[in-house]
Amino acid sequence: MTASLSVNLNAVAMLRNRRDLPWPNVIGIGRIALAAGASGLTVHPRPDERHIRFSDLPDLRALIDDEFPEAEFNIEGYPTSEFLELVARNEPEQVTLVPDDPAQSTSDHGWDLQRHADFLMPIIQGLKSRGARVSLFIDPNPEAPDAAKKLGADRVELYTGPYGAMHDDAKRAVIELEKLTATASAAASIGIAVNAGHDLTVANLPPLVKKMPNLVEVSIGHGLTADALIHGMAGAVERFLDALKV
Q: Which residues are catalytic?
A: 44, 76, 198
What are the φ/ψ torsions at residue 130 (nearest 5 degrees)? -90, 0
Q: What is the DSSP letter of 98?
A: -
Label residues 91-130 b or e (16+ Cβ within 10 Å = b): ebebbbbbbbeeeeebbebbbebeebeeebeebbeebeee
Rg over CA atoms, the chain = 17
What are the φ/ψ torsions at residue 87 (nearest 5 degrees)? -60, -45
Task: List 72's β-bridge partners, or say none.
Answer: 40
Instruction: From residue 146, give the alpha-carbon distance in Å to each of 36, 98, 101, 113, 168.
Output: 35, 17, 25, 10, 33
Taking phi first (over 0 means left), then psi (-120 to 50 degrees means alpha), and beta for anything else, what does residue 80 get? beta
Residue 205 · residue 240 · CB < 8 Å: yes
